[in-house]
Structure 1
C-alpha cells in the first residue's frame, strides 16, 4: 500500500484536533491543518503576505511587520464580500502548499497523510484524498466546548455554525463518521478500529 491520504473535517468545536493528536501519537502519519498553513502563508515573505496587504491596506501591517490577524478576522466576520476575497487569496495557496507536502511525505514513505480543514468539502479536497472522515459531535457539546475552551459568546458560536454545511451533507459525502462526544475512550476505539482496517490490506 502506498501512502494513504485522508481528509478530516467536522463542525467548529467537534474536536478534530484531539482526534488528530491521537493519530499522530500512535501511527506513522503526517498531519497538516489547513488553518495552520494559512497562518504560515500570511507571514512576511510568504505567498499570501503581499496580496493580503493589497486587499486590506498597509494599516493591517503591525510594527513587527506581521499582519494583524485579529483585525482581519473582525473585518471578514462582519463583511462577507471581504471574506470571499480573502478566501480567494488564501485557499488556493494553502492547497498548493499541501500538494507539495503530500509529494514530500510520499518520498519519505510516510504511511498516512491527514489533511484537516473545516472547509474540506467546500474546497474540494475530496479530489485529492483517498478517504474522507467526518468528526461528529452533538451541537450542545460543541457549544459548551467553544464557550469553555475558547471563550466564545453564544452569538459568535451561532454565527460560525450557521456558516458551515449541515450535518447531512457531511454524512453523505464522507466515508467515515467518527463520533467524538464526551467519552474520549470511545473516540479512540473508533480510530483504532478504522486504522486497523488499513493495515489488513498492506
Structure 2
C-alpha cells in the first residue's frame, strides 16, 4: 500500500487519491452548495485534509476567467466598459464588484454569460482530474444547467449565524448581506436540488462526523 494510504487508516475508508489506480475504485463527483456565509469553505477544508479530495471552487474558476484576455474578461469589458480596468490592463475587481452590487441588472447580464463559461471550465477540470483522484468536489452557490454530480450536499446554516460570520470575517454590513442572500437560491431551492444536507450550526467535530457518515453512505 502507498505510504500516504497507510497513514490515512480506516477512518478514510475507500477515499484515497491513489486507490483508484491500485484497485480500480470508482470516481465520485460531489457537489457542495449553500449560500454566502454558510461555511462551505470549512467543508472543503475537511474534504481536502481528511479525504484528499480534489477541490474545484466556482468563484476561483470565475476569477481565472476574469484574467486579461480570458473569455470572462472580455464579457466584463463589453458590459461595464474599460473604466473597470487598472493601469496594467487587468480588471479592478473591487471596482467591478462595487458596480455590480449597486446595479443588479448589470449583475444579471454578467451572470447570464459568465455562469455557462464557469460550468464549462469546471466540467473540463472534472474530466481531467478523474485520472488522478477518486473524490472530486465542486463548490458553488448557484446550480449548473446539467447534472455533473453523483451526489450533491446542501450546507445549511441559520441566517443569523451566517450574518455574524460575514460581518466578522469580511466586514460586510447587514444591508449588503441581506442583498447578497436575496440574490441567491432560497433554502427550499437548495433542498430541492441537493440530495443530502449538512447542518453547520455546531462544532467542527460534529461537521466532520456528518461528512464521514454521508461519504460512507454514498460509497456503499
Relative to the length of structure 1, the TM-score reads 0.91
Separation (CA, whole Å) in 2 of partners of 1:165 and 1:93: 20
- Who is 2:158 aligned against? 138
Cα distance, 1:2 vs structure 2 = 2.5
Q: How many residues align?
A: 196
- Who is 2:145 aligned against? 124
2:182 is equivalent to residue 158 of structure 1: no
Relative to the length of structure 2, the TM-score reads 0.84
3-state SS in 2 of match to 1:133: strand
2:86 is equivalent to residue 62 of structure 1: yes
3-state SS in 2 of match to 1:115: strand
Cα distance, 1:124 vs structure 2 = 2.8
Separation (CA, whole Å) in 1 of partners of 2:189 and 2:110: 25
- Who is 1:176 aligned against? 196
- Who is 1:84 aligned against? 108
Structure 2: tracts of 5 or more residues without a match = 1-24
Deviations for 1:41-99, whole angstroms, at most 9, x for unmatched residues? 10013221222212211221101221011111111112222112211231111111111
Cα RMSD (Å): 1.5
Deviations for 1:140-178, whole angstroms, at most 9, x for unmatched residues? 111110111111001111111122222122223211100
Q: Which has the larger radius of gyration?
A: 2
Structure 1: tracts of 5 or more residues without a match = none
Structure with larger RCO (C-alpha < 8 A, sep 6+): 1
Separation (CA, whole Å) in 2 of partners of 1:10 and 1:185: 20
The runs of at least 4 aligned residues of structure 1 exceeding 2 Å deviation read 196-199
